[in-house]
Structure 1
Amino acid sequence: MVIEAHWLLPPELMEPAWQVYREAFEELRTRAVQRHVMLRGEFDEQMRDARIRKYVVRDPSDGRMLALATLTNDLGAMPLVSPDYFEYRWPALYAERRIWYCGFYAIHPEHQGSATFVRLVTEMRAVIAPGIAVMDFCGRNEEVRRMPQVVRTILARQGDVRPERLDAQAYWSYEFPAAS
């Protein structure tokens, strides 16, 4: 597999990137309360945002896109995180722009469980270290797929890593059954 890094996704990669992203996250459309899947316009905007680095994984035999991931140390580029939190928590690292947010890892369903994810995490770690990588996982990916532990295992093979859960948000429902 070949990994390319782009600050601006080339126009000819927009449609294949959208297809990989959409298919990779299809399950979360109905399995997560919070919308974890960007709309097409939001996706296109991120792909054109030069503050966000895009990692494209291709099959070397035919050039087909297998995966896509994003990474930024400009926390203002990510609409759902609070730069103030990170500046308060780690002022020196924040000032040095050594706090990185991994927006998503989209692995095409045919390649989930392959070495693709490991290669992407390894490639991105080389940019981040020394520093802090921040990722968010919905409850399903945390509890069912155990993604925080998977990432920790990958990173621990490459050296010292200290994971910490930073925050959580829970969604509750209150059902009102019909009177009997």
Structure 2
Amino acid sequence: MTAGGECSLAAGAAAIRVSIEHTIPEAEIDGFHRLYETAFGPLRTRAIARQVLYRNEFQDEMTDPRVQKHVARTPGGTPVGLSTLTRHLETVPWISPDYFAARFPLHAARGAIFYAGFTLVDPTARQGTAFHAMITSIVRILAAERAVVGWDICSYNNSRFSFADALRAALDEQADADVAVEDAQTYYAARFTGDYVDKGG
């Protein structure tokens, strides 16, 4: 485990500590994967685009040192939250690094384009506190580098949980950042209800 930084946020008498870890210890991966499944598993049937990493993909991300893991822990060291962030866009298979390089060439030239993968919090923890602490950890890095960061939220999470509004509010509290929708994709389905008919003239 390699820690690249640490911050803490008080929650009453307790505190949430966030460390930046490049490799999650093998003994903790199963626990994080259970939290991941709790948070993202329902999206298998609620979003057309695949939102859930396969188990081997999750394992690879947890052990890939190019992906920062911002881990929220209780004062006793128990992990209760996880956010991923990377400047190595090739580690995010569902985005196009070329898009970001063309859209933000000056940032690309100095390696200051990041992508935020996912954020999850143990439902038994102080969710708002852990979420805020992890966002604070990430924003400190991005603000220091005057970076560009991308992320995606499926329509289900936006409509059900207002994730985009919550994230924008968290960013507005901590830094000057211009947030804009970069792209959208609409999925269609056709349900055939009868036999083929040649309607040509």
Q: Normalising by structure 2, what TM-score?
A: 0.82
Give the Cα separation in 2 of the matches to 1:60 and 1:160: 31
1:162 aligned to which of 178, 187, 190: 178
Structure with the largest fraction of strand? 2
Q: CA deviation at 1:21?
A: 1.2
Map of 1:73 onto structure 2:
87
RMSD of aligned alpha carbons:
1.7
> Which residue type is aligned with residue 79 of structure 2?
M
Give the Cα separation in 2 of the matches to 1:104 and 1:53: 11
The 3-state SS of whatever aligns with 2:187 is coil
Work out the number of aligned pairs and report it: 178
> Which residue type is aligned with residue 47 of structure 2?
A
Task: Note if 1:175 corresponds to 2:196.
Answer: no
Map of 1:11 onto structure 2:
26
The 3-state SS of whatever aligns with 2:29 is helix
Q: CA deviation at 1:44?
A: 0.4
In our comparison, the structure showing a higher alpha carbon Rg is: 2
Structure 2 unmatched ranges of 5 or more: 1-15, 196-201
Give the Cα separation in 2 of the matches to 1:72 and 1:162: 20
Task: Output one character per residue of 1:55-92: Cα deviation in whole Å (capped at 9) or x when no partner.
Answer: 1112224x332111110011111111111101111111
> Which residue type is aligned with residue 26 of structure 2?
P
Contact 1:20 1:65 (8 Å CA) reproduced:
no
Residues 10-89 of structure 1 aligned to structure 2 (within 5 Å)? 10-61=25-76, 63-89=77-103
The 3-state SS of whatever aligns with 1:174 is coil
Give the Cα separation in 2 of the matches to 1:122 and 1:115: 10
Q: CA deviation at 1:112?
A: 7.3
Give the Cα separation in 2 of the matches to 1:99 and 1:135: 11
Q: Normalising by structure 1, what TM-score?
A: 0.91
Give the Cα separation in 1 of the matches to 2:19 and 2:119: 14
The 3-state SS of whatever aligns with 1:167 is coil
Contact 1:152 1:161 (8 Å CA) reproduced:
no
The 3-state SS of whatever aligns with 1:60 is coil
Contact 1:54 1:71 (8 Å CA) reproduced:
yes
Q: Work out the percentage of aligned pairs sharing the same amino acid.
A: 31
> Which residue type is aligned with residue 128 of structure 1?
L
Contact 2:17 2:133 (8 Å CA) reproduced:
no
Q: CA deviation at 1:113?
A: 4.7
Structure 1 unmatched ranges of 5 or more: none
Q: CA deviation at 1:178?
A: 5.4
